[in-house]
Amino acid sequence: MTSEDRLKAALGLGAAAPAQVDHAFVSRVAEQIEARRFKLRLAVLALWAGVATLLGWVLAPVVVQIGRDAASSLQPIAAGLLLAGVVWWLRKASVGGALRLARRVVRPGLH
């Protein structure tokens, strides 16, 4: 047997019929794997949601007290940041893009 024959045999190029693949079985196995991954991700997400809820419940009185104490001194700073954000957003917005978006909303089929 030559090296070329061994290569063909290893790659399955010389076989009379290709290897049979049960696509239904492969699909079921892939579905089970993805279902298991989804359940694991969902459990981790539920755990993090529980931690965030507990942390929010514990820190709520502290945040409320800090908000009451700092409201009067931070109000001008918050207004300035809000104004700067609006100016930045308006500078980035394009009139043509807004008109195209308005046309899509008013006439969804004609764009």
| pLDDT at residue 104, as a whole number | 77
Q: What is the pLDDT of residue 93?
A: 67
CA dist., res. 26 & res. 104, Å (int): 43
CA angle 27, 32, 37 (to 5 degrees): 125
Predicted local confidence at residue 30, as pLDDT: 94
> Which pLDDT does position 58 carry in this prediction?
95
pLDDT at 9: 75
Mean pLDDT by runs of 10 across the 111 residues of the chain is: 78 66 90 95 94 94 84 83 82 69 72 52
Q: How high is the pLDDT of residue 85?
A: 82
pLDDT at 48: 94
Task: Please give the model's pTM, rounded to 2 decimal places.
Answer: 0.44
- The pLDDT value recorded for residue 95 is 66
- The residue type found at 73 is S
